Structure 1
Amino acid sequence: MKKFSIFLLTMIALVGFTSCDHDDDVVFVAQPDSDGIMFTNATAESYTLTAQTSNNIAERFVWNEVDFDAPTTVTYELQGSSDSSFSGFDVIGTTGDNNLGVTVSQLMSLAAEAGLDNDPETEMPNTGDIYFRVRAYAGTDGSNGLNATSEVMSLTVVLPEAAEEGGADELPKIYVTGNFGAASGYAADWSPEAGVPLAASAEGRTDYEGFIYMNVDAPEYKFLPQNTGWDGDYGDAGAENGDYTEELLQDGEVNAGTPDGTGGYFLVKADTENLTYSLTETNWGVIGNATPTGWDSDSDMTYDAENMIWTITLDLTAQEAPDNGIKFRANDAWDLNLGDTGADGTMEFGGENIGVPESGNYTITLDLSNPRMYTYTLTKN
């Protein structure tokens, strides 16, 4: 019995030695799936870039997931360049997800590298193309050689001097700043430079509006005629900070508040001639015969404070506008609803239904961060 045990142990040792001896001959080669990596989001004809909207998300790039057929995580690196050859490029960001937002300020930086200018005194162009691609690699540092790179996508950008006459960037604006800024995805508290813009309906009008997220328990704020200082600021006509009388005052004013004294995502309106203002709390959803619940009820969206968008992923059926499709509405009611009259990618209150080109699972976004230039995306997953 003892001899048999010794023999068995000897055989196990030999097998183990043989296995180790051949480990170096085994080569594992992983490759991305046959489709590689490609952008799946649609883009606008052009993107108008202004300093006032520099913190806004200009575009959200979406791409398919890549499978390297290897037991490792996949990292995606979004790259931007001023030339299509990518002889030089900026890394916009890295993520483990299959999407990444790009801000107006990041596009402006690439526009400057491309030689675009908004100064009418120069001969530099105001409109041009900048370029993006996404690189996927296995792991977190890209050092193991497993990677794939998408084709290049171009975006046409327009600096303010070249913007279409009468466009939203030329609309008169005032700005709102207060104790909510840093907690709500804006740059800072009580900062004129970080003020959230409200836009009037036309030149010479004083009917300003826009959407503002106030993610604090007891918001307080003021309205500024410009985002360079406090001169001429407006507050509430009440007696104590946080009052909400819906009346504006320039001298002897207090900090304005919200209707119930708490935070939320508000449609803000102000009239500096009539000295009035109002806040309406909103929570947004998608409704329509393209959605699973039809016209009977909303599919609720979620607010993404980092990217300043409302978003939802939903199964949609193909529907042709304007008689069918989807709309966005607030608070499960029709008092505030947004559609896209003319299917130009920008929305109007009470606008036409939005069509769905084909059935499938979609990521839907609603961007209300640019006053009176409200936009949306439907990206098929």
Structure 2
Amino acid sequence: MKKLIKYLSLVGIGAIALNSCSDDDIIQLDPQNYSTPKITTTASTAELSEETQVETAFNFEWSAADYGVTTPPKYDIEVIAENGSFDNAKILGSTQDLAYAVSGKDLNSFVVESLGLVPNVETTINYRIVSYLGTHKAEKLFSETKSITLTPFSTDLSTPWGLVGGATVNGWNGPDVQFWKTTTPGVLEAYANLSPDSDGKMEFKIRKNNEWVEDFGGTVTATTDNGFSGTLAAGGSNIVAPKAGNYKITIDLNNLTFTAVLFQWGIVGDATPNGWDGPDAQVLSFDGTKEIWYFNGAVLKDGEIKFRQNDKWEIDYGQGATPGTLIEKTGSNIPVKAGTYDVIMDLKNLTYTLTPVQ
């Protein structure tokens, strides 16, 4: 018979706290009466594709583990490649429920980035359900192992399409501002600063492979304080931006439409040239090959920074519980020493790096 502190999350507080516990704080556990979780999912395949990535690709289901106590267990879904070992398993998800649904996008990213599977090659992964008690994962129990057959798709968001024109940073000769895939096939996004050229014009077009073999122009049909939108036409007229600024430009090649919305991520704080009031001087660029936002060569002073969207405090990220991690809204100011840095903000993994430039 085992004894376990009722409030398992307090196990690590120390011997003094343990010695002060009464008999009412002790749970009697009998391993002979444990019941392991059992997988009830019958499916053994997952369909992964760019077209269906927002849909549920696989639903993990299992029966409850039983420790003979009222404290509900928690569960991890451990996954390995076909020839891997559970000693090196990756955790796909954690829950107190008896089911875990994962989208095609999240499952695909997991098997490619965490398990190292090769896109466009059919393969098999193995998984099991692990139950445990408390935050310290005491008394682990393991289900049987089952398999899933799947074919990952590439996680590279690159496309052959780009934004070109006098309003863009590289003018009409390019190289073009990259458009990136979204979760909707045929709908692409680019992040660009649009400003007047030497003639005071703000014109651009969309073209493929940095060439004029295939291109789209268009017409602005609506404007707001926050952006503009319109229609696309193959080989059409230059699109005229009504207002300078940093934009997220979305094109829909299925319906031949576009929208442009003022959008940016910037670095703000007393370590930056414009202080906490901004405007944010270091505007980050997007790299869809890594799904990160970055700024190379940010000159910072002794002080603190945060990351915020659109020069406002509606959406911002600061430091999480440990340096290098990010948390929205409630994050702490990030301390910085004077110097020049390459900055990366990773909103997918909620991390940041500040690398000194030598």
Shorter-chain TM-score tier: 0.3 to 0.5
Q: TM-score, normalised by structure 2?
A: 0.38
Q: TM-score, normalised by structure 1?
A: 0.36
Structure 1 or 2: more strand by fraction: 2
Q: Greater relative contact order (Cα 8 A, min sep 6): structure 1 or 2?
A: 1
